C-alpha cells in the first residue's frame, strides 16, 4: 500500500479522512496484530463520521492502509449494494478519491461485514472485517479485565464448556455464526459475525485478514498462510452449513444462500448472498430455477 | 413478485433528500437560525457541548439544527468534527475558585462567605405551562445587583478542608492528564480518565446511576457541598513564551459532593469527595456525575462494592451515548446472513424435536400393548 499526505476528494479533510498521525498509530497496531496472530491489540479508536456499530473499526483500518492506487470493494451481507456497503464505499470515494469495484478479483482491499467472498482471495489482497464484539469470550465472561487474563493464560475452558453444553443439550454445536476459531495454535479469536460457512476460508488464506472493532477499540489480524482451526471435538467435528437447493438465480451449488420471502403464502427463494459471485455466474450464462423472477434495476 | 437485486444507492440518496426536506418542515413557518438556538435553547447547546466534549456554541447550535433537535445525534455530529481537530497542547488547570459566579448554592451551610446566589434556576418555578410564552410576550427586565457578586467566594470543600474534616484533594503535580479519546481506555482506569468519561457520559445514564446510589445500590451518603455555575478563564502556556496567556472564558457547572466516610485503618473518619464538572449550565449532569464519581471510589476507600454504580468497567463501558446509540441502532442494519444461519438451526432443532416426539408416540402404544399382553 502506498500512502499519501495530499488531500484528495473531499476538501478540508486529509486523504481518506484520518490525519496521518492517527493512521500511523493504527498501522502500528496493525503491525503488532500481524506479529501476534489472533491477539486483540488495543488502539486509540477515533470517533468517525458514521455511527459505532456500523463499521467504524473497519473504516479506520481501511483508511490507514489505503493509498491512491488501491481499488476498494465494500460488501455487507455479501452484497455490494446493501445500504451500509454503499455508504462506506461512497465515503472512501469521496474522501480518498480511490477507484471502487464490485468485482472481488479486481479489488486490492475488500472491506466486509458478515461475509467472506466466495471468490478465493489472492496474495496481493487485503480483507478488512468490521467487528462488533472482538472478544470471543465476551458472552461467557462480560469483564474485559477477566477475558484478557484468560487469553494470557490461554485458558479457553469456558469456550469448550459452552460448546460441550450445546452438544449435551442439542446433540450438536448450536453456534452458527461468529463461530470461534483458534489462530496459529494459540489465541482463540472471533471471526466476526460471518456464518460458520466462511470459517474454512480463513484457514491458510493467501490474503492478509485484518479485523477492526472501533467501538471496542481493538484490532486483530490473521497473516497470510496462517493455520486457523474452528473449535470442535474429535467425536463432533466442525461442519459448515449446507443448502438443500442451489441458488435460484445462478444455480450455484456450495455458495452461501440468503432466503427471500416472495409472498405471504410460504413462498421462498434461495439466492447467493455474494452478489458479485452470483452476477458473474449469470453473466456467464448460468441459470437457476427462479432466474426469471429477478428484477435488475 | 419480483426480487429487487440492486437499487440501494439510489434509495439512500433519496432518503437523504427527504430528510433535508423534513428537517426544514413547513416552508411557511420561519426557518430557525443557529443563533436563535444558541440564545433561546441554550441549555440544549450546553448539553451538546458537554457530551460532545467541545466548547463551540455556534457549532453545537448548528448541530442541533442539523439533527432536527435530536441531541444525541447533535452530540455525535460534534464528536465526529472534534476528532479531526489538531491538538495544540493542554491548557492550565482552570481555577473554579476564581469563577465569575452566576449561581452558587450550598446545601451544607445556611450561609457562608459569598452567600447563596440563586441565579437563573428552574428550582422554585411552578411547572405550569406559560401560555404567555407562546404569544411572545417580552419578559420583565431582571434585577441588577448593586455591586458585582462577592469577589471572595471560597469553595465549601476548602472551608471544610481548613479543619481537616474532608480528605485533601490529591495534587497530581506535573503528571500528564490522560485522554481517552487519544488512548484506549483500560481497566482499572485512573480517576482523571474516569472523570473524563463521566464528563462526556450520557446525562440520562449518569442520572439513573446516581439515583440508584440514593436508593441503596451503593449508598454514598451525599450532601451537596456546593454547586457553582459561572465563567472561568482558560489559560495556556505556549512553549515559546513560558508564561500563561488567556485563551478566553468558558461557562461551567461544578458540583462538589460531600460524602460521609467512617474511616479505615489508614484514614481517620472524615468527609470524602465526589466531583462533577461540565461545560455550560447543567446541574443535573454535574450532580449525577459527582454521585457516580464517589460511588466509583468505593473500592479505593475500602467500602463494600458490588452495586452497578460502583462497577468501573460497567459504568465507563456503557456511559457514552454515541457508542451506545450506535451499537443499539446498528441492529437496523441488515443481518440476514446471520439470521439465515439461525433460521436453518432452528428449523433443524424443530425437526429433531418433532422426530423425537413422533418416536415417543410410536413407542408408547407398543409398550401399552406389551403390558396388555402380560
pLDDT tens-digit profile of A7-56? 445 567 899 999 999 999 999 999 999 999 999 999 999 999 999 999 99
For B114-154, what is each residue's pLDDT tens digit?
889 999 999 999 999 998 899 888 899 998 877 665 667 88
ipTM of the complex: 0.84
Q: What angle do CA A13, A14, A20 make, to 5 degrees?
A: 140
- Output the nine-digit C-alpha cell for A231: 473449535
What distance in Å separates residue B263's CA from the closest CA in chain A? 29
CB < 8 Å from B in window 24-63 of A: 42-49, 51-54, 56
Distance between CA atoms of B55 and B113, rounded to whole angstroms?
Answer: 31
**Residues B290-318 pLDDT 10s:** 999 999 999 988 888 999 999 999 999 99
Confidence band for B88, pLDDT divided at 50, 70 and 90? confident
What's the whole-model pTM score? 0.89
Q: Which of A53, A85, A257 sits opposite B326 (nearest CB)?
A: A53
Residues of chain B neighbouring A295 (CB-CB closer than 8 A): 2-5
Per CB-CB distance under 8 Å, the chain A contacts of B84 are: 13, 17, 19
Q: Is the pLDDT of residue A5 over 60?
A: no
**Of the candidates B121, B107, B312, the residue with the CA atom closest to the CA atom of residue B209:** B312
pLDDT at B113: 86
Chain B: give the shortest CA distance to residue A67, in Å: 19
Is residue A157 predicted with pLDDT exceeding 80? yes
- Are the beta carbons of A293 and B342 separated by less than 8 Å? no
* Higher pLDDT, residue B170 or B67: B67
Distance from CA of B356 to the nearest CA of A (A): 12
Q: Nine-digit cell at B138?
A: 417580552
pLDDT for the residue numbered A190: 97
DSSP assignment of A220-251 equals EEE-TT--EEE--BTTB-------SS--TTT-
Q: How confident is the model at residue B3 (pLDDT cuts 50, 70, 90)?
A: very low
Interface check for A265 against chain B (CB to CB < 8 A): the answer is no
Active site residue A205: no
Q: Which of A205, A214, A247, A288 is catalytic?
A: A247
Rounded to a whole number, what is the distance in Å from the CA of A257 to chain B's nearest CA?
8
Q: CB-based contact (8 Å) between B374 and chain A?
A: no
Q: Give yes or no for a cis peptide into B255 (omega within 30° of 0).
A: no
Model confidence at B2: pLDDT above 50: no
Q: Which residues, at least 6 apart from A10, have a Cβ–Cβ distance to it below 8 Å?
A: A17, A94, A95
Among A14, A47, A55, most B C-beta atoms within 10 A, so best to mutate, is A47
The pLDDT of residue B64 is 98
B86: pLDDT confidence band, cut at 50, 70 and 90? confident
Provide the mean pLDDT of chain A: 92
Decide: A43 and A56 in contact? Cβ < 8 Å.
no
Which pLDDT tens digit goes with each residue over B177-230? Answer: 889 998 999 999 999 999 999 999 999 999 999 999 999 999 888 999 999 999
Amino acid at each position: 500500500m502506498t500512502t499519501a499526505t495530499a488531500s484528495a476528494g473531499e476538501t478540508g479533510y486529509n486523504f481518506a479522512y484520518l490525519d496521518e498521525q492517527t493512521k500511523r498509530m493504527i498501522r502500528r497496531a496493525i503491525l503488532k496484530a500481524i506479529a501476534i496472530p489472533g491477539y486483540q491489540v488495543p488502539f486509540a479508536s477515533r470517533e468517525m463520521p458514521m455511527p459505532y456499530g456500523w463499521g467504524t473499526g473497519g473504516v479506520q483500518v481501511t483508511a490507514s492502509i489505503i493509498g491512491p492506487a488501491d481499488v476498494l470493494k465494500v460488501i455487507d451481507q455479501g452484497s455490494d449494494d446493501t445500504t451500509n456497503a454503499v455508504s462506506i464505499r461512497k465515503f472512501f470515494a469521496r474522501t480518498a478519491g480511490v477507484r471502487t469495484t464490485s468485482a472481488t478479483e479486481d479489488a486490492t482491499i475488500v472491506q466486509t461485514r458478515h461475509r467472506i467472498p466466495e471468490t478465493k482471495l489472492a496474495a496481493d489482497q487485503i480483507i478488512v472485517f468490521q467487528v462488533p464484539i472482538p472478544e470471543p469470550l465476551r458472552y461467557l465472561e462480560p469483564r474485559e479485565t477477566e477475558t484478557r487474563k484468560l487469553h494470557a493464560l490461554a485458558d479457553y475452558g469456558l469456550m469448550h464448556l459452552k460448546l460441550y453444553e450445546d452438544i449435551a443439550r442439542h446433540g450438536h454445536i448450536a453456534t452458527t455464526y461468529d463461530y470461534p476459531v483458534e489462530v496459529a495454535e494459540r489465541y482463540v479469536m472471533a471471526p466476526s459475525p460471518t456464518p460458520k460457512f466462511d470459517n474454512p476460508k480463513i484457514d491458510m488464506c493467501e490474503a492478509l485478514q485484518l479485523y477492526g472493532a472501533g467501538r471496542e477499540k481493538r484490532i486483530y489480524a490473521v497473516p497470510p498462510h496462517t493455520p486457523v482451526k474452528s473449535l470442535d471435538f474429535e467425536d463432533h467435528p466442525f461442519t459448515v452449513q449446507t443448502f438443500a437447493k442451489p441458488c435460484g438465480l445462478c444455480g450455484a451449488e456450495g455458495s452461501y444462500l440468503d432466503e427471500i420471502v416472495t409472498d405471504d403464502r410460504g413462498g421462498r427463494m434461495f439466492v447467493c448472498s455474494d452478489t458479485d459471485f452470483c452476477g458473474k455466474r449469470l453473466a456467464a450464462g448460468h441459470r437457476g430455477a427462479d432466474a426469471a423472477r429477478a428484477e435488475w434495476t | 413478485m419480483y426480487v429487487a437485486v440492486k437499487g440501494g444507492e439510489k434509495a439512500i440518496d433519496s432518503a437523504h433528500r427527504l430528510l433535508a426536506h423534513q428537517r426544514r418542515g413547513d416552508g411557511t413557518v420561519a426557518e430557525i437560525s443557529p443563533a436563535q438556538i444558541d440564545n433561546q435553547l441554550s441549555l440544549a447547546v450546553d448539553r451538546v457541548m458537554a457530551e460532545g466534549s467541545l466548547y463551540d456554541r455556534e457549532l453545537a447550535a448548528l448541530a442541533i439544527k442539523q439533527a432536527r433537535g435530536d441531541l444525541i445525534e447533535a452530540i455525535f455530529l460534534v464528536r465526529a468534527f472534534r476528532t479531526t481537530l489538531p491538538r495544540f497542547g493542554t491548557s492550565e488547570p482552570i481555577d473554579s475558585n476564581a469563577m465569575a459566579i452566576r449561581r452558587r448554592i450550598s446545601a451544607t451551610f445556611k450561609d457562608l462567605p459569598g452567600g447563596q446566589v440563586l441565579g437563573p434556576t428552574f428550582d422554585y418555578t411552578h411547572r405550569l405551562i406559560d401560555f404567555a410564552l407562546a404569544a411572545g410576550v417580552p419578559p420583565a427586565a431582571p434585577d441588577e445587583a448593586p455591586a458585582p457578586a462577592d469577589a471572595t467566594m471560597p469553595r465549601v470543600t476548602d472551608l471544610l478542608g481548613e479543619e481537616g474534616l474532608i480528605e485533601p484533594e490529591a495534587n497530581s503535580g506535573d503528571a500528564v492528564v490522560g485522554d481517552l479519546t487519544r488512548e484506549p481506555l483500560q481497566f482499572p482506569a485512573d480517576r482523571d480518565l474516569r472523570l473524563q468519561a463521566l464528563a462526556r457520559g450520557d446525562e440520562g445514564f449518569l442520572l439513573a446511576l446516581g439515583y440508584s446510589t440514593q436508593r441503596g445500590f451503593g449508598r454514598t451518603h451525599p450532601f451537596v457541598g456546593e454547586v457553582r455555575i459561572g465563567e472561568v478563564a482558560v489559560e495556556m502556556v505556549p512553549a515559546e513564551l513560558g508564561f500563561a496567556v488567556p485563551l478566553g472564558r468558558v461557562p461551567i457547572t461544578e458540583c462538589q459532593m460531600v460524602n460521609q466516610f467512617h474511616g479505615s485503618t489508614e484514614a481517620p473518619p472524615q468527609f470524602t469527595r465526589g466531583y462533577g464538572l461540565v461545560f455550560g449550565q447543567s446541574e443535573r449532569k454535574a450532580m449525577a456525575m459527582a454521585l457516580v464519581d464517589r460511588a466509583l471510589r468505593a473500592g479505593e476507600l475500602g467500602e463494600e462494592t458490588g452495586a452497578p454504580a460502583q462497577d468501573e468497567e460497567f459504568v465507563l463501558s456503557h456511559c457514552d451515548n454515541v457508542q451506545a446509540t450506535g451499537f443499539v441502532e446498528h441492529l437496523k442494519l441488515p443481518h440476514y446472513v446471520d439470521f439465515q444461519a439461525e433460521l436453518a438451526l432452528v428449523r433443524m432443532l424443530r425437526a429433531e424435536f418433532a422426530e423425537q416426539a413422533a418416536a415417543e408416540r410410536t413407542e408408547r402404544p407398543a409398550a401399552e400393548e406389551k403390558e396388555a399382553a402380560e
